[in-house]
């Protein structure tokens, strides 16, 4: 709808994201190439200014900031994408069931969606994040395992993040259900799973992709907030959010520690939002008017 | 209309009840219970003492029994004591509520006063450089991590310029303590308001009655402010209604970073400090405020838009 400029902005967002994703994927190689080490603590070299050894300086424990930013980006982007995809998956299933079945199933699922949307997200996430996995019955040996930590955040965020996609998919499914090609398919004896998989899902997939793109930014924000508050990714595994946890007390000594991780979160989220907005304009049927 | 209101109120109460049970159960799953805390404070207590204390306090009873006991007391207005503040929970809340309401109201008003005009300006000239600039600013506003915005504001105004305090007691310490938290929340809120206003105004400006007004020869200004604005504000009212809930639930991150004594920080401190009674009630209050905001949003929409009739079978 906003035409050329919007596509240009979306393109810029896509380029930025590709760059960030490449940097995250190649993080180990970049570390080796530049001779960086984001894990070794070097207390004689705390808060070092940028130099040839440490292109962006070091943090409060003398660890290389650039290496930690690269690895943190790996974690933040992976968690963001995984949680957004998980939420989209849940939302698509719930939306499809509600839209295709109708009746009391639809009513119940939509009341559930309304209920989840009406909850104060952040306070409840904090309570959920504070839950002790051992008391939940999970093996104690899992505590502190990095992959369990990542999975925990993905599950937490997906638990609340599915509502937008569910509403969208339901609305589209309701509209598609009564279209002639779907009625024809049903009349030909196509089973319910085939009907959804072959005829309904492909026709609403593009909307789901747009909504997911728009939600990745929000998910990354949520992860960073939880990690910042000490309830998300646990150190020493770096994420852009938990790198900012200590930055607040250290803001007087080393502003760079606060500026870099937050700036990268900001850049990533705005890139996802602009890209999603551009895609949405492309899909908007009214876009062809102008 | 009264039927709609009553059914929505009952629905909200049911959600609130479900949330209270869920949160009560979740709090039991957090590390440590009150007896663990007593054990940590007094090394002479044996595990037999602990079991005896648990039985005495009813902590060994099944979850549903404990919850019903809590609910029974709560209905009578007894929410127990706050561990952190060593005062009854009901005595802790009013100050936090007042602080939060002041903070959030100031930020909401400011971000509406700035965001809505910007959204209208952008919508009046779609695809102009002005529109793109405003739109990009709005994107920046919704994309900025709130705690980072707070940190940057502290960095600029407290560290580099040294003109404002980095955080503190809120309004009781003087207005200076309000400036940075209000600024952070306002900046974060403008983006959403701009985008809603812009989208809504563009939608309305496409409609036939606007074309008719233009054909009549009215100036663009008359068309926008005399005819379109009223209609374009409808969806925006809904958004403001939804945000009404935050007046009482607060802004957890901003309040925590600025050490502002509001509801958001109270919830965070209570959860982190194992203050179960306080955490539960504060969370329920935040949920109730959010539900009330939703209800107000629907009512405002209903009152403003005569085309909508909400009844028992509206869906």
**Closest by CA position to B95, among listed B103, B74, B142, A60:** B103
pLDDT tens digit sequence for B23-76: 888 887 777 676 777 777 777 777 777 777 777 767 777 788 888 888 888 888
**Closest by CA position to A236, among listed A4, A67, A91:** A67
pLDDT value at residue A290? 38
Domain-located, residue A262: yes
Domain-located, residue A110: yes
Cβ–Cβ of A262/B148 closer than 8 Å?
Answer: yes
Domain-located, residue A48: no
**What residues of B are in contact with residue A247 (Cβ under 8 Å)?**
151
Residue A217 forms contact with B (CB below 8 Å): yes
**What residues of B are in contact with residue A2 (Cβ under 8 Å)?**
126-127, 131-132, 135
In the block, residue with structure tokens 């603590």: A41
Dihedral-angle region of residue A71 (phi above 0 means left; psi in -120 to 50 means alpha; beta otherwise): alpha
**Stretch among A251-260, B148-157, B259-268 having the lowest mean pLDDT:** A251-260
Residue B264: half-sphere exposure toward Cβ, Cα within 13 Å: 25
Q: Which residue has the higher pLDDT, B292 or A246?
A: B292
Domain-located, residue A41: no
Please report which confidence band the pLDDT of residue B11 belongs to, taking 50, 70 and 90 as the band edges.
confident
pLDDT value at residue B122? 92
pLDDT value at residue A1? 43
Q: What's phi and psi for B215, nearest 5 deg? A: -65, -30
Please report which confidence band the pLDDT of residue B127 belongs to, taking 50, 70 and 90 as the band edges.
confident
Cα–Cα distance for residue pair A190/B162, rounded to 1 Å: 71
Domain span at residue A7?
Answer: 2-36+55-289
Share of chain B above pLDDT 90, in %: 11
Which of B 153-172 lie inside 8 A of A, CB atoms? Answer: 154-155, 159
Residue B16 has which token pair? 């609130």
A2 DSSP 8-state letter: -
Residue B310 forms contact with A (CB below 8 Å): no
**DSSP result, chain B:** -HHHHHHHHHHHHHHHHHHHHHHHHHHHTSS--HHHHHHHH-TT--HHHHHHHHHHHTTTS-HHHHHHHHHHHHHTT---EETTTTEEHHHHHHHHHHHHHHHHHHHHHHHHHHHHHHHHHHHHSTTSHHHHHHHHHHHHHHHS-HHHHHHHHIIIIIIIS--S-SS-SGGGG-THHHHHHHHHHHHHHHHHHHHHHHHHHHHHHTSHHHHHHHHTT--HHHIIIIIIHHHHHHHHHHHHHHHHTHHHH--HHHHHHTT--SHHHHHHHHHHTT-HHHHHHHHHHHHHHHHHHHHHHHHHHHHH-TT----TT--
**Stretch among A54-58, A96-100, B120-124, B308-312 having the lowest mean pLDDT:** B308-312
Residue B264 forms contact with A (CB below 8 Å): yes
Cα B78 to Cα A101, B22, B90, B257: the distances in Å are 45, 20, 8, 32
**Closest by CA position to A41, among listed A60, A24, A62:** A62
In the block, residue with structure tokens 């004896």: A189
The answer to whether B181 and B260 are in contact (CB under 8 A) is: yes
**DSSP result, A123-181:** HHHHHHHHS-TTTTT--GGGTT-HHHHHHHHHHHHHHHHTHHHHHHHHHHHHHHHTSHH
* Mutation for B interface: A127, A129, A171, most B CBs within 10 A: A127
Cα–Cα distance for residue pair A207/A280, rounded to 1 Å: 8
pLDDT value at residue A5? 56
Domain total for chain A? 1
pLDDT of residue B18 exceeding 90, the answer is no
**What residues of B are in contact with residue A111 (Cβ under 8 Å)?**
11
pLDDT value at residue B309? 54
pLDDT value at residue A67? 80
Q: Which residue has the higher pLDDT, B199 or B77?
A: B199
* Mutation for A interface: B148, B165, B278, most A CBs within 10 A: B148
Chain A residue with CA closest to B276: the answer is A127
Mean pLDDT of the B159-165 span: 78
Please report which confidence band the pLDDT of residue B312 belongs to, taking 50, 70 and 90 as the band edges.
very low
Cβ–Cβ of B140/A270 closer than 8 Å?
Answer: yes
Percent of chain A as helix, strand, coil, to the nearest 5: 75, 0, 25
Dihedral-angle region of residue B199 (phi above 0 means left; psi in -120 to 50 means alpha; beta otherwise): alpha
Chain B residue with CA closest to A266: the answer is B144
Domain-located, residue A158: yes
pLDDT value at residue A90? 94
Cα–Cα distance for residue pair B126/B204, rounded to 1 Å: 13
Cβ–Cβ of A131/B26 closer than 8 Å?
Answer: yes
Give the list of residues 6+ apart from residue B160 with CB closer than 8 angstroms, or none. Answer: none
Q: Among partner residues B143, B152, B155, which is closest to A217 by beta-carbon distance?
A: B143
Residue B256 forms contact with A (CB below 8 Å): yes
pLDDT value at residue A2? 47
Q: What is the mean pLDDT of chain B?
A: 83
Could you tell me how many CB contacts below 8 A there are between chain A and chain B? 133
Domain-located, residue A50: no
Domain-located, residue A285: yes
Cα–Cα distance for residue pair A70/B299, rounded to 1 Å: 49
pLDDT value at residue A266? 92
In the block, residue with structure tokens 């005896």: B52
Cα–Cα distance for residue pair B49/B46, rounded to 1 Å: 5
In the block, residue with structure tokens 């007042």: B98
pLDDT value at residue B109? 93
Is 0.90 topped by the overall pTM? no
pLDDT value at residue A52? 66
Helix pair A65-101, A255-283: axis angle to 10 deg: 30
pLDDT value at residue A268? 92
Pair type for strands B87-88 and B81-82: antiparallel
Residue A258 forms contact with B (CB below 8 Å): yes
pLDDT tens digit sequence for A63-105: 777 888 888 888 889 988 999 999 999 999 999 999 888 888 9
* Mutation for A interface: B7, B59, B145, most A CBs within 10 A: B145
Share of chain B above pLDDT 70, in %: 92
pLDDT value at residue B214? 85
Chain A residue with CA closest to B123: the answer is A2
pLDDT of residue B305 exceeding 70, the answer is no
Measured between CA atoms, how close is B146 to chain A, in angstroms?
8
pLDDT value at residue A269? 92
Please report which confidence band the pLDDT of residue B173 belongs to, taking 50, 70 and 90 as the band edges.
low
* pLDDT-flagged residues of chain A (< 70): 1-6, 35-36, 38, 41-45, 47, 52-54, 56, 62, 137, 140-144, 284-290
Maximal CA-CA distance, chain B: 88
Cα–Cα distance for residue pair B232/B198, rounded to 1 Å: 9
pLDDT value at residue A285? 54
The residues with which B81 forms a beta bridge, in sequence order, are B88
Angle at A68 between CA A64 and CA A73, to 5 degrees: 155
Residue A198 forms contact with B (CB below 8 Å): no
Mean pLDDT of the B253-276 span: 87
The answer to whether A133 and A145 are in contact (CB under 8 A) is: no
CATH number of domain containing A257: 1.10.3720.10
Helix pair A3-25, B129-143: axis angle to 10 deg: 30
Most confident residue range from A126-130, B81-85, B161-165, B178-182:
B178-182
């Amino acid at each position: 709808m906003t035409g050329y400029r919007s596509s240009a902005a979306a393109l810029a967002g896509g380029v930025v994201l590709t760059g960030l994703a490449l940097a995250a994927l190649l993080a180990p190689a970049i570390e080796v190439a530049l001779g960086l080490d984001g894990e070794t603590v070097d207390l004689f070299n705390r808060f070092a200014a940028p130099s040839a050894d440490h292109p962006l300086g070091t943090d409060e424990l003398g660890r290389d900031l650039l290496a930690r930013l690269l690895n943190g980006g790996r974690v933040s982007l992976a968690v963001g994408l995984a949680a957004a995809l998980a939420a989209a998956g849940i939302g698509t299933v719930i939306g499809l069931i509600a839209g295709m079945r109708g009746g009391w199933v639809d009513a119940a699922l939509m009341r559930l969606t309304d209920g989840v949307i009406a909850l104060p997200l952040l306070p409840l996430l904090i309570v959920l994040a504070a839950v002790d996995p051992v008391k939940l019955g999970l093996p104690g040996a899992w505590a502190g395992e990095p992959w369990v930590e990542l999975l925990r955040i993905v599950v937490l965020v997906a638990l609340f993040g599915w509502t937008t996609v569910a509403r969208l998919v339901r609305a589209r499914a309701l509209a598609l259900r009564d279209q002639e090609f779907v009625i024809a398919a049903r009349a030909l004896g196509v089973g319910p799973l085939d009907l959804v998989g072959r005829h309904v899902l492909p026709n609403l997939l593009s909307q789901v992709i747009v909504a997911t793109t728009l939600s990745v930014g929000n998910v990354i924000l949520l992860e960073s907030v939880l990690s910042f508050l000490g309830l998300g990714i646990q150190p020493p595994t770096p994420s852009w959010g938990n790198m900012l946890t200590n930055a607040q007390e250290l803001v007087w000594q080393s502003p760079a520690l606060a500026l870099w991780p937050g700036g990268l979160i900001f850049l990533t989220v705005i890139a996802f939002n602009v890209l999603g907005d551009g895609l949405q304009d492309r899909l908007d049927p009214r876009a062809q008017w102008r | 209309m009264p039927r709609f209101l009553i059914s929505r109120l009952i629905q909200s109460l049911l959600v609130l009840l479900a949330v209270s049970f869920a949160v009560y159960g979740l709090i039991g799953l957090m590390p440590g219970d009150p007896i663990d805390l007593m054990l940590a404070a007094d090394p002479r207590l044996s595990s037999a003492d602990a079991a005896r204390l648990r039985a005495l306090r009813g902590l060994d009873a099944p979850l549903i029994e404990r919850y019903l006991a809590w609910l029974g007391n709560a209905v009578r207005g007894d929410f127990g004591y706050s561990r952190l503040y060593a005062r009854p929970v009901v005595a802790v809340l009013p100050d936090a509520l007042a602080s939060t309401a002041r903070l959030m109201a100031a930020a909401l008003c400011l971000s509406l006063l700035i965001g809505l005009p910007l959204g209208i300006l952008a919508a009046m000239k779609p695809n102009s450089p002005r529109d793109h600039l405003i739109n990009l600013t709005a994107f920046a506003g919704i994309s900025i991590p709130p705690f980072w915005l707070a940190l940057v504001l502290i960095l600029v105004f407290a560290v580099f310029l040294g003109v404002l305090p980095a955080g503190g007691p809120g309004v009781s310490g003087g207005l200076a303590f309000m400036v940075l938290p209000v600024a952070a929340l306002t900046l974060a809120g403008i983006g959403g308001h701009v985008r809603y206003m812009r989208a809504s105004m563009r939608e309305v400006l496409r409609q036939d009655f606007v074309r008719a007004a233009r054909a009549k020869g009215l100036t663009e200004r008359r068309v926008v402010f005399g005819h379109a604005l009223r209609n374009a504000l409808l969806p925006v009212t809904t958004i403001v209604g939804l945000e009404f809930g935050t007046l009482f639930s607060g802004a957890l991150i901003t309040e925590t970073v600025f050490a502002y004594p509001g509801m958001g920080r109270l919830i965070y401190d209570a959860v982190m400090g194992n203050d179960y009674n306080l955490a539960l009630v504060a969370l329920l209050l935040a949920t109730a405020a959010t539900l009330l905001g939703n209800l107000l949003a629907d009512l405002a929409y209903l009152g403003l838009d005569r085309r909508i009739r909400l009844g028992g079978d509206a869906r």
